[in-house]
Amino acid sequence: MELKRITIVLALSLIAAVPAALAAGPSPAAAAPSARPEETVPVLTKAATPPVIDGVLDDPAWAQGLKFDAFKTFKPDYGKDASQKTEAFIAYDAENFYFAFRCFDNDPGRIKGAVCKRDTIFQDDIVFINIDTFNDRQSAFVFMLNPCGIQGDGMLTTNGDVELTFDTVWYSAGKVDDLGWTAEARIPLKSIRFPNREVLTWRILFIRFFTRTSEQVSFPPFDPNYGSLLGQAQPFELSGLKYKRVAELLPAFTFGRTQEATVASEGKPVRNNELDIDDISLTGKLGVTSDLTLDGTYNPDFSQVEADAGQVDFNQRYSLYYEEKRPFFLEGSELWQFGGSVEEGPIQSIVYTRTIVDPAFGFKLSGKVTPRDTVAAIYALDSLPGDAVDEHPDFMIGRFKHSLKDDAYIGGFYTGREAGASSNRVAGFDGRFRLSNTQTASFHLFGSLTKAPGAETTDEGHALGLNYSFSNRKWVVDLGYQDIGEHFQVDTGFLYRTGLRRISAFTMHSIYPKSKFFQKIEPFYWSYHLYDTIDDMWETVNLLTLRFRLPRNTMIRMDTLLANEVYAGQRFDISGFGGQGETQIAKSLYIRLFARRTGSVYYDSESPIPDPYQGYGTRAMAQFRYQPITQLDFSLSATYIDFYRKIDKVKIYKYLILRSRNTFQINKYLFVRGIVEYNDFRERMTLDGLASFTYIPGTVVHLGYGSALEQREWDEGLPGFVDSSRFHEMKRGFFFKVSYLHRF
């Protein structure tokens, strides 16, 4: 207990001391302004005639609406004039909100834009708007476009991150011309949430990315000395919006058949009836109010159109993390973010919906119940065929947030998983507070009660997290503290380690050289010091990095790592060095490379009593993306890991994954794609083909085929499978899916 008190006191002392040190450090000329510039709130008048969404900005609505052109950079530096001029326009009528961009470019032939799948435009030149329809500075709807009019949408969070969890129906067009390029869009009001009042104040932020110059510009200009991103967005007033209660139905049908080669089939692929898919599902959405929505789903089709990319799954201490891709769970998932979290912290998420494996039905309620109060809740009944203990677990998840001044809030969580006599329940609080324009603090405090299958007692656990952040033009500082009890458990989330107390620190200095080649130089230091309460040992990680920002979205960084890791009562050296880089080296070619040579651990985690030992090895990754024309996309990636035992320098294993993903986007609605993935360690190859038509999110047709091949063959003499130098098909299947979104 004495060590615990010392650790907590040290963490709190650091958090208390750093703001004072930073405040005292800069010269008076560099000190942060005490107040933001005074805001003006222009009135947006209703358009008499709606604009035609064709990418040509000659409609009277743009002249009648509001125009903004005082864009300034925020990358690589703040407040500078951009190399190219940008103009943005907004307009509205009773049922739609409209926006448009005129993006000037003195070399239109070098504008980068592809005809591609929605939400995959981030290596293109893009523009986007962030609309805070509640004027609460907590979140914003994000709508993005590239020069071909291809869409992306998501939600902007209080941390300034864009979460691609929001997909809705809107209409757009883009056009490249002699002056540069234009983008134009119409957003039906039923596609977003807003207060149902006669007169509203919204906030809007316009952003443009330049690929070849690595510039990012915004209006209003963003200044880190003035606080949060959404707090600096442009307010404007509008009135007379027509609220129409949202009502949607989404029926879907999925058909699939699979054949497998097994011992019972004597190595011949035969139909596996257990993998047959003949599913009809129904999902619905109802607007309880203009800003509160109820979603429901019965027998949902959560089959993924594209399998997860292969990950190294050997000699892993923790479970692998896979991103959620299922639409029912994606929308609104930004609400599950919690205060006090830190980069690479032990608690990755309190709500990780992939723990709900195969729901029979589910309900979700999300939105605002008052101007300052946001709620989110999920109930789902899962189906786990073949599991006698957890055959039908219930999931109940609840979230409440009360917004305070600026981007601050206080909130609470409840999560529960019930399966027969076993259960796991987690409850607690979190919050975020703005200490000044440049400083924030956040926290979480959770408690858990867990009763394992067959257990007669309940285990209690706790998780405490504190975080302090400082950010201005030249400095970023982040301090964190976590205290996680040995018996803390969250079955609805992703938690990779318990029984620890951890202090983390990050500091980065930005240097802006007067050079056309080096746009920004960023030396930074990241570390944590962790006390393992189970093994009564300390571990530490110290990462020193030098990062360079250059034109063509180029980044180069070099790392030195001094670190160790505690596992199974032993301390292992994981020190080393590495480097990585990425660049849009040409309009058609993107390259990303990573390599690191460090000490490593052989965990032996699959043994009843692990017998780990010290080793060393290399981790490397390479990615190439080639787009010879706007509709073709060839991607190739390689992931490589090897491990040598230190005592005798014997190679224990190497793991290589090669993946080729090739897409021909026939038009903005229809594409065909082929994926080939080779796993050298597992001696396995997968082939996947897909034809996909998406008219709007929800209205889709997919036809796919997949095949799995292994270096095994059937030996009649055994009988059984034996190793082979050639690949033989072990599994194949196809599926057909159709769904239709009907909006009432």
Read off the pLDDT of residues 641-662 as tens digits, 9 standing for 90 and up. 999 999 999 999 999 999 999 9
CA angle 586, 163, 68 (to 5 degrees): 70
485 in Cβ contact with 502 (< 8 Å) = no
CA-CA distance, 627 to 587, in Å (whole number)? 8
Provide the sign of the torsion angle of the four alpha carbons 183, 582, 633, 708, taken in this order.
negative
The domain locations on the chain are 43-239, 502-532+542-664
Q: 3-class DSSP state for residue 544?
A: strand
Q: Which of 165-179, 212-226, 227-241, 383-397 comes out lowest in average pLDDT?
A: 383-397
For 727-744, what is the mean pLDDT? 95
CA-CA distance, 525 to 479, in Å (whole number)? 12
Looking at residue 231, what DSSP letter applies? G
Confidence of residue 453 (pLDDT cuts 50, 70, 90): confident
CB neighbours of residue 157 within 10 Å:
19
* Per-residue pLDDT, 76: 95
389: left (phi over 0), alpha (psi -120 to 50) or beta: alpha
CA-closest candidate to residue 87, choices 186, 180, 222:
180
pTM given for the model: 0.90
CB neighbours of residue 133 within 10 Å:
22
Identify residue 348 by its one-letter amino acid code. Answer: Q
* Per-residue pLDDT, 27: 36
708 in Cβ contact with 685 (< 8 Å) = yes
CA-closest candidate to residue 657, choices 675, 634, 633, 684:
684
Confidence of residue 32 (pLDDT cuts 50, 70, 90): very low
CA-CA distance, 674 to 365, in Å (whole number)? 37
| DSSP H or E stretch at residue 502 | strand 500-509
Query: Is the model's pLDDT at 706 over the cut of 90?
Result: yes
CA-CA distance, 612 to 645, in Å (whole number)? 11
Q: Which of 21-35, 53-67, 582-596 comes out lowest in average pLDDT?
A: 21-35
Give the tokens for residue 451.
Answer: 């009763």
| DSSP H or E stretch at residue 16 | helix 2-24
For 14-19, what is the mean pLDDT? 42
Query: Is the model's pLDDT at 506 over the cut of 70?
Result: yes
CATH class of 43-239: mainly beta
Query: Is the model's pLDDT at 395 over the cut of 50?
Result: yes
How far is residue 244 from each of residues 47, 157, 207, 331, 565, measured CA to CA in Å?
A: 19, 26, 30, 20, 57
Determine the number of helices (DSSP H) and then strands (DSSP E) in the chain: 3, 42
Confidence of residue 172 (pLDDT cuts 50, 70, 90): very high
Query: Is the model's pLDDT at 737 over the cut of 80?
Result: yes
